[in-house]
Structure 1
Amino acid sequence: MMYRLLADAAMGVHFAFLAYLTLGGFLAWRRRRTIWIHLAVAAWGVLSVVTGVECPLTLVEDWARRHAGGAGLPASGFIDHYIEGVIYAGEYTNVARLAVAVLVLFSYVGYVLRRQ
């Protein structure tokens, strides 16, 4: 039971992290100090996509699911399991990544313009 809760919590935090990655730059328009947090989150996102480094949240969720008696996450990881093929078709992965990048860059442009 405890492992299942930990796995579900890791999944929830992971979804929140991805939502913040996508939209958190807009929060900085009103809460200026949060830009530093968002820059770190965006840097991790870029590092993860470019190098394929495994997210610690994926590792925690997979570990907890296995200890709860489940199969764990597939080798492809969190996004491939919960998002790709569910929210968008797998062949549109690069389009989805580009859309997120455009949103982040737009939020940063807005942040700079609002500071002036």
Structure 2
Amino acid sequence: MLYRILADAVLLLHLGFILFVVFGALLVARRRGLMPAHLLAAVWGVGIEVTRAVCPLTHVENALRRRAGGSGYEGGFIEHYLLPLIYPPGLDPGFQYLLAATVLVINVALYTWILRRRRA
């Protein structure tokens, strides 16, 4: 039971990190001190997608699920609703490049907005 809870916690952390990578610039608009952390996270996220690497959080989560006696992501609210967001079906290299480009476009647009707002 403990390992399953920890695996679910890692999954939520993973989702939070992904949201920070994609939309963290919105937080930067409010708190400029987050800019270095967000830029590093965004570079990491794009790098993971472009190199088709696996995020270490995925390995941690899977190891915890195996320790809990599971082998997959069946059952439960978290597995049913959140896993498809983090591990979408059809995740092939072309789709990963599209994800990386999407992260770049969103962040360039948000940082452009932040810089224009700052100058005004």
**Alignment of 1:104 onto 2:107:** yes
| 2:44 equivalent in structure 1 | 44
- TM-score w.r.t. the length of structure 1 is 0.78
Q: Gaps spanning 5+ residues in structure 2: where?
A: 74-82
Q: CA deviation at 1:82?
A: 4.2
Query: What number of residue pairs does the alignment pair up?
Result: 109
- TM-score w.r.t. the length of structure 2 is 0.76
Q: Which has the higher helix share?
A: 2
Distance 1:81 1:68 in 2: 22
| 2:78 equivalent in structure 1 | none
Q: Gaps spanning 5+ residues in structure 1: where?
A: 74-78
Higher alpha-carbon deviation: 64-73 or 37-46 = 64-73
Q: CA offsets per residue over residues 4-29 of structure 1, 9 Å max, x none?
A: 01100000001111111111111111
Q: CA offsets per residue over residues 60-98 of structure 1, 9 Å max, x none?
A: 10000011111147xxxxx7784423xxx6588244443
Distance 1:9 1:60 in 2: 11
RMSD over aligned Cα atoms: 2.6
Higher alpha-carbon deviation: 5-14 or 95-104 = 95-104
